[in-house]
Structure 1
């Protein structure tokens, strides 16, 4: 394998590292309970949608024929932070786990028609309030399409739909009891620019790899074409890079010894050079 082939492979490997570092996984990183940001600075922020009142959505299911019994569930949702539902929203029922701070709650009850001839004689029965999620136990989908709230062993998903309308909250899918899927329509769910620049770490990483490429290309080119070096000798500062591990080892040993020189072994002593390291 000639030097040009080795150099081409080395350069290709370094370029691959740069590409991987610059184009990292396109993941929407969570900033808060209702915001996330992609590496390019765009993201989603539902903070303007957070308000004092909660969003509600109702699901009705006719569990018996002729409308004699209706199973109903009302879902309450508050983005960004946990709230306590008002007393007129959550009744002090015995079967109630929505008394604490939360982001998602479900109110289930049954309407029973006590008179089949009249549609206005429904009586509520079997009421229950179920805690479904907290802002402290939430995470964004990698692509920012939903927020997942943990209520182990179950999960609640709020899918974010970009819509140029007022904020609206709907039920998406309830077929899987342990994976409740809801939808939140909002203009704040649209992707927009949040960070104007890359992070400091990404910028430093790009600068570092650009410097490494420049150093290798300039050094190898100089030693090969101007100095006539061949083989591994084309690597710039080869002696330094070869001795670097030993230098690091010696420096670490010097550090952990309390910046003291190692003790001398038995043997004749000679006058040291006043300009040497040992004379310090």
Structure 2
């Protein structure tokens, strides 16, 4: 009879592999996604002030015409491209992806090619972007089409190229960057200063509540007398003023003046 524990072991192993296969890189921002184990993709350091660009060249009409397409890509946040055209095609506003296609036709009169002025096409922005489940690409939806930007781990700050143009409604670009490599995603938290302020004000509140309750219920104080160490807090402005005067004087005691000896000694610390 076959023992059951090997079957149980295989079943557990299958469940673990299934769970791993179902692990999805959850979007944390326009250019960041994270898996359940804390690793993920974050290409935000690759963002710069200008677009990444790449071009494709296509000959038509047996060489009598050609099309030059320039792709503009900016990861993480939308910026406005410099568009000088009567056909902006939506590229005259902040975006992440844009294509400019310029058609050149041969003109026998000048024996050269003449441009038709070019056409701009918006291809996506951060509001319509989503990570693939494996975190290896970002999909920019621009109904009815979409553009896929593959994130390729490479030892470069950032480089853009065209990967596939087979489907005009699903163009695939490749973005090469060392920031596209799998890494540990660090959650942004409170700064040290914020933490210290929270601790300080928490201690102040605890001090006031405990002091007021003690003086009111144990000592029978009323009115302002319930404030703990009231005499100290009342005199605090004068103490601060004397401290400033002491510091401005070079941390020296004032010189003893002429006249009878007083108490306390004017050259003592108590005289401040």
**TM-score interval (norm. to shorter):** 0.5 to 0.7
Corresponding residue of 2:91: 98
What is the CA deviation profile of residues 50-85 of structure 1, one whole-angstrom value per residue up to 9, with x for unaligned ones? Answer: 1111011111100121x3211121110000011101
User: Among 101, 121, 133, which residue is 2:124 paired with?
Assistant: 133
Q: Which has the larger radius of gyration?
A: 2
Residue 94 of structure 1: how far off its partner (Å)? 3.2
Supply the distance in 2 between the matched residues of 1:38 and 1:142 (Cα, whole angstroms): 9
Alignment TM-score, normalising by the size of structure 2: 0.59
Kindly indicate whether structure 1 or structure 2 has the higher relative contact order, using CA contacts under 8 Å at least 6 residues apart: 1
Structure 2 residue 92 is matched with structure 1 residue 76: no
What's the RMSD between the two structures over aligned residues? 2.8
Alignment-derived partner of residue 151 in structure 2: 160
2:87 alignment partner, SS class: coil
SS of residue matched to 1:176: coil
Could you tell me how far apart the structure 2 residues matched to 1:148 and 1:189 are? Answer: 15
Give the C-alpha shift of residue 111 in structure 1. Answer: 1.0
Cα deviation for residue 115 of structure 1 reads: 3.5
Unpaired stretches in structure 2, ≥5 consecutive residues: 188-272
| Number of the residue aligned with 1:85 | 81
The structure-2 alpha-carbon separation of the partners of 1:111 and 1:23, relative to structure 1 and needing over 3 Å to count, comes to closer
Pair 1:64 & 2:61 matched: yes
**Equivalences, count:** 179
Match of residue 177 from structure 2: 186
TM-score by length of 1: 0.58
Structure 1: state its 5+ residue gaps: 1-7, 197-280
- TM-superposed CA distance for 1:19, in Å, is 6.5
Task: Please give the secondary structure, in 2, of the residue aligned with 1:150.
Answer: strand
Contact 2:102–2:116, Cα closer than 8 Å, also in 1: yes
2:116 counterpart SS class: strand
